[in-house]
Amino acid sequence: MKRRYLNAVVLTLLVVLSGSGWARAQETKTVKLNAPDKTRGLPVMQALSVRASVRDWSDKDLGLQDLSDLLWAANGINRPEIGKRTAASAMNAQDVDIYVVSKDGAFLYDARLHALVLVAAGDHREVLASRPGGGPGGPGGPGGPPPGAKPPAQAQPAAPPAKPEASPGTPPPGGGPGAGGPPPATPAPGQLVLVSDLSRFSRGTDELKKEWAAIDAGIVSANISLFCAGTGLATRPRAGMNKEALKSLLKLKETQHPVLNHPVGYPKETN
């Protein structure tokens, strides 16, 4: 009887630790992710039928298994013998890296180790909601000048042109995925940043490399959206972010460019 009780206690502890292990990466620097569960989720056509962009999430932390499966589905290695990925890339450059920004820190997903590597400790999720030169709240907000800073002198602006009336069904300014839309009421527990390293392309002009980078990031983005739709997670693709602040936070090289980001979480419960 005692042995059975001890076994149950150990099993319970393992379950608890596996769900919160990535949150302790500030101590370990690297978190080995669980092996991906390749049997879960809806059939692909059903997943496509429920895919939708979500702007608000529960504040529940992402479980380690969900995060492990999400990252593998997004751009993990699905053919280990030749090192190929779940997402195609131009000339197999594998130029897209995924960074995860959570309340516990910013991490780089190492697909070869299937692990998270700590880049910066602390909660930096506001960087994904901010804009260059000012956050959602204007000057002094995330990404903006500090409170009390003297604004630069500017010429008196001309009178703005009259606004055309929006036709029915027209989305509000800043509401599309390209602009990123307004910041959510509850920040997503996990925010994935897709960063392309142009130096990994073996040929091509700078213009072509940027075009390939956008396409490759779009393929990874589609994988993220499809996985979330099929497993009950909530996400949406966004291009709006403070790229300069992100480059500093993630310690990116000159050749690395943030292209898209995906806030990810569990659907918010509705009454």
Percent of the chain clearing pLDDT 90 (strictly above)? 65
Tokens 């930096």, located at residue: 124
d(CA 54, CA 60): 15
| pLDDT classification of 23: cutoffs 50, 70, 90 | low
**Residue corresponding to tokens 């480059």:** 247
For 222, phi then psi, to 5°, come to: -65, -40
163 phi and psi angles, rounded to 5 deg: -80, 130
Positive or negative, the CA dihedral 87, 49, 175, 164 is positive
Q: Has residue 148 got a pLDDT over 70?
A: no
Residue 181: pLDDT above 80? no
In the predicted model, is pLDDT for residue 151 greater than 90? no
Please say if the pLDDT value at position 152 is more than 70: no
Radius of gyration of the chain (CA): 21
In terms of Cα–Cα distance, which of 151, 142, 149, 98 is closest to 124?
A: 142
130 within 8 A of 153, measured Cβ to Cβ: no
Query: What's phi and psi for 234, nearest 5 deg?
Result: -125, 135
As a whole number, mean pLDDT of residues 5-16 equals 40
Structure tokens belonging to residue 48: 């496509």
The more confidently predicted of residues 264 and 3 is 264
142 pLDDT higher than 70: no
CA 166 to chain centre: 32
| Residue 243 phi, psi dihedral angles, 5° rounding | -65, -40
H or E, element range at 154: none
Kindly state the helix (H) or strand (E) to which residue 141 belongs, with its residue range. Answer: none
Judge contact between 126 and 142, C-beta under 8 A: yes
The residue type at 124:
H
Tokens representing 225?
């959206």
Question: Counting every residue, how long is the chain?
Answer: 271
* CA dist., res. 206 & res. 60, Å (int): 41
- Categorize the per-residue pLDDT at 129 as very low, low, confident or very high, splitting at 50, 70 and 90: confident
Q: CB within 8 A of 229, min separation 6: which ones? A: 42, 47, 48, 50, 51, 52
Q: How many CA atoms lie within 13 A of 21 on its CB side?
A: 20
For residues 199 and 231, the answer to whether their CB atoms sit within 8 Å is no
Predicted local distance difference test score (pLDDT) of residue 269 = 80
Per-residue pLDDT band at 183 (split at 50, 70, 90)? low
